[in-house]
Chains A and B, each alone.
Chain A
């Protein structure tokens, strides 16, 4: 209370060395928010910059309080007040709104403060998480800020820190739920395609973290909706088909991890029964990168192992039986991973058990599948394999 006057005269503060002028932690929150609005309102670049600097400074001060390495030891009560003030003022929401206005260093402080907050627990409860659940707009804003970042000049400088905040959130199931419910999550598939290496990898990292960290949540609530499954398949296929090497590899890997989870068997069933998906995966299997081939194999094996393959899928497989056998003759030979080898052997066995095409006329399914295998060329290797 007795220091309140200083808040009203921020100019005065600047004349003092920060550490000689300790404030109550609570006041920091208010002050930062004031400065944020100042950044917004001031057209004068000087005062704007001043406000930015102030923000940075106070953010650092806040961090020091939270870490307990401020020069004045603050009581736990004061710390609790600080947290309460943050929640009360929607501190992070405000910060996110002005994220692009913050200085580079200030953004780092925000991330740090945010992650400290997330981990803060009182009475065995993650207070901040609870708050964020009750006020989902912070997280929603987060997802929008990251999108807005792409329109700015320094896309990376905003995208990466906010992305890190999102990744922090994903660690908590309740927050991950909010993220998955937000339609904004689909935008990340678009971000991947933008072609900036950092942004692509970060987006994919966010996607896979969101979809794999809490698999129960994902299977129960995300993939329980058919529309989500459809959208996911459509989006991930785009990435697999048109992405850069890294995109292809990481998205195929993501697909592979999701599809082998039993809890996701709705997704799996939908995916492996579509001939288009099979074609895509088979195409990726012929990529020149061995690593990519391996990732694709992890999806392909599920399709092969499916005892109830859909007609179009098995048609494609039957048609390419010999080619596949030829492919697997050399595939993964240098690997010594026993599981992989076992799987490979099993897959080969499955392929061999597929019916052989006697003549192209006899099998009407050829026409349905539409991919033209050349039976004449492939017949001889098949004999080799059969014996």
Chain B
């Protein structure tokens, strides 16, 4: 109407946009296959000009269209920049977008690397060309963010073309820096990986340096380790340097200039063009790169076997797609491909070229073809080039929310399948997942345990409210009388959510006894707000490190808030009786209710007498809370067992399924901070039903609101060299477990332990994502978490402090009873079993290391983590030590095979017979009420007499006379060594025992595992 003339004028233009793209372009073959699209070779019907055609299916989650749009804008704004794949236009056909780009017959540099490393003259030319492109890109304030050999294409004429602007970013003048993590791990600059650090175009220079390294050596640095570890290494290590005599100093210098840790010191593209290395190759024509192409072609022909392994794509793709427009399958995995708008990571193949043709066509003298072309690379060698490190695609990080790939890799198919469950998660997901569980649970709790009823009530009511929310929001639209808030630009959604949040704040803060539940509630209201952003299905990367990273470096405006080091802010409810709570101090809080002896902890529990415990290293964030959760419910559990309530059959099958489903992926095991969890989820499945009854409580709670510490805490020290650590863990974990069992004769602890681990495990994927999403979407909200960490341990520790101090403090060595071991084991073993698994890990690992000096690379960090603990507890002489040292205590006991087996038997017994549980519990009680030594002593041999209380005095210089501090050190070390040796000796025993147990219980878990 108004603008008819416009429409006409455009429509009447010669090339009608409505024309079917399939009539303009014909596709001939698949040349690449990416995560969410296929790249074809094709030609323009009229001109016969050959193009690469990228076909993306836009029928995916919302952000994808935007991302594609952004990428296209980059491409079209860079039409005039040299050495970039030229963009010719895009056409929409149904839901598929055809993006017409320049065809580069030579394929990617990565492909051309297959026959072997490149000579420096080629490197010089390639880098020169890339730098000219980068110079222009950076001048436009665009960061490519994903420079690597795979994204460098070589045209038929040997021209170098940078491609894939899928994760590129435009810097604007006001914020000329970025914060989000994007790119491919091995090529990422440290400042990209580091949290909360801004970066600019210099990150491309780093990546270019890595790419140079890659083409010179065949792989990027750290290619032998998996991506997460590599990322750690990148941030922690000195920048890599090219070593070796076969490289010229110029090249080494060039790489060193690119790989400067300090972005400011790093040269710009402009300056790099002036380096000697580039100048040395200034005159070399780009056409010599044609030799690389022929080298590759020859290599490919000579090496069929290598080819087969290297060309999986070829087998997958159907070369005769001509005209099959509707039928191509894009990636198959819609789940993981959701929202990935990054250009397909092209794996070029050019079957259409044969080497002889190419050599003749391009007038190449075969003599000139460099070494390597005739070298007969074995298939393994070529594999080494191609697969030595995990495929980079898998570790793509997108500036937006898509981290799916990482998760997929590590978690395997089962979890990937679980994705939809977790889909859209935020905190909402786990809750909805466990809705039924939670409900049942809460009902039962209500029935049996009056103290928690408030919590459960609030839960159920809140549940109703959230259910009513959506309609409410809808109906509110129609409330005519309602005053429309002038200043409110927010959608009703967020408003309602805010209300809801307020509603629930009360219950949460008042009712600490069931924080997880209310947490879940809290979580829920926000889900609505998050919907938009969290539309992507995100497989939770089981990657602890990354998650915090991501939560911090989430995109856009929110990132400013997320820059805080802790993934989630934790707020202590103000009503807490003792603690003056401040959001951040929790983690470090070392105080606890000191007046409570063990027996009173139960009272404390019901009286909501909570304080953050001392034994927690400051790095703990969610992990803390999780573990606290656990302990929390542990108390409850104890209470309940007294009352004779049975939780026994509670939904164990569900939990089982959760845990077992994730077992199969071995990589996950390697990844997750405490692989032993897997062990436990196996192990405990039978035990759970009878003995572990109330512990489901734990795991449930865990699942509901809390992050399992394992995922949430990125423990750098927990990045083990895979196999070594794994096996060790399996050993360690049981040890720990049996620790508690032996010390107190309660297996309930062990069971709870396993359950906890189960819960953690199951919840790991959900909860962690929850945190991430939650954080991202509600940057302003503070999550009301239960107070961090194990309450029990703290109480216990405190108890020990209190009780031992009076006695042992003045005359530390005088009293055998108050000897570390007896006392601490009995009391502190509970904390141990309750500490988040990875915490335990740390301790145990540290202990082992002390004794072992086992040479695992993780040693220093672990030790560090222990020291962390100590730091956090500086006020209390003993507070911390029991946590870390009692471990070794009981380790001490381990060597005696007899004890071990009895322990094992014990645990088995209790597992099988629920009736042992009350008994064991009472044991705990008795051990608590009466200073307990007898209990533990009856079961295990006494610890070495030299290990007296006073040696702990060493650990806290403040508490006692300073001179003692010096005196005891060597002795303590000696003792520790002794202990650790014994511990080490005991390991095989424990392993045996536990394996036996595992085998014996195999009959039952079989179905779980399957």
Contacts and interface: CB of A to CB of B under 8 A. Distances in A.
Interface SS of chain A: helix
Given A260-B473, A261-B492, 14 more contacts: A151-B9, A190-B6, A198-B69, A202-B69, A245-B92, A291-B61, A305-B478, A307-B475, A336-B423, A337-B424, A339-B527, A339-B531, A343-B470, A346-B470
Interface in B389-431: 420-425, 428-429, 431
A336 B432 contact: yes
9 contacts: A160-B77, A190-B3, A198-B73, A245-B59, A260-B492, A265-B477, A335-B424, A341-B432, A346-B470
B23 interface: no
A336 B90 contact: no
B312 interface: no
A198 B90 contact: yes
A-B interface, 5 closest residue pairs, ranked by CB to CB distance from nearest: A195-B17, A305-B474, A342-B470, A346-B471, A343-B470
Contact of A338 (B420, B428, B475): B428
Interface string B663-687: 0000000000000000000000000
Interface stretch (B290-298, B364-372, B483-491, B931-939): B483-491
Contacts of B524: 338
B600 interface: no
Contacts of B421: 336
Contact of A291 (B59, B174, B478): B59
A327 interface: no
B763 to A, nearest CB: 16
A116 interface: yes
Given A245-B58, A253-B62, A339-B469, A305 B475 contact: yes
Given A194-B11, A246-B65, A108 B477 contact: no
Interface in A13-50: none
A181 to B, nearest CB: 15
Nearest to B141: A112
Contacts, number: 171
A244 B466 contact: no
Given A108-B140, A119-B174, A253-B62, A195 B18 contact: yes
A150 B92 contact: no
A119 B2 contact: no
A222 B97 CA distance: 34
Contacts of A290: 59
B90 A187 contact: no
Contact of A261 (B474, B486, B491): B491
Contacts of A268: 477
B10 interface: yes
Contacts of A116: 173
B705 interface: no
B92 A197 contact: yes
B72 interface: yes
B481 to A, nearest CB: 12
A187 B469 CA distance: 39
B921 to A, nearest CB: 38
Contacts of B423: 335-337
Nearest to B528: A339
A289 interface: yes
B60 interface: yes
A262 B92 contact: no
A363 interface: no
B356 to A, nearest CB: 41
B79 interface: yes
Contacts of B965: none
A104 B79 contact: yes
A244 B474 contact: no
Most B CB contacts (10 A, CB to CB) among A193, A334, A345 go to A193
A332 B291 CA distance: 55
B471 A337 contact: no
Contacts of B422: 336
B10 A334 contact: no
B69 A205 contact: yes
Contacts of B89: 156, 197-198
A353 interface: no
Interface string A99-120: 0000011001000100110010
Contacts of B489: 214-216, 263
Given A197-B97, A302-B477, A337-B428, A262 B484 contact: yes
Interface string B127-161: 00000000000001100000000000000000000
B172 to A, nearest CB: 6
A13 to B, nearest CB: 22
B94 A245 contact: yes
B58 A187 contact: no
A302 B95 CA distance: 27
A67 interface: yes
A286 interface: no
B574 interface: no
B92 A246 contact: yes
Contacts of A321: none
Contacts of A250: 65
A262 B173 contact: no
B83 to A, nearest CB: 16
B967 interface: no
Nearest to B425: A336
Contacts of A337: 423-424, 428, 527, 531
Nearest to A334: B420
B246 interface: no
Nearest to A307: B478
B76 interface: yes
A150 B10 contact: yes
B308 interface: no
B1010 interface: no
A150 to B, nearest CB: 5
A263 B79 CA distance: 43
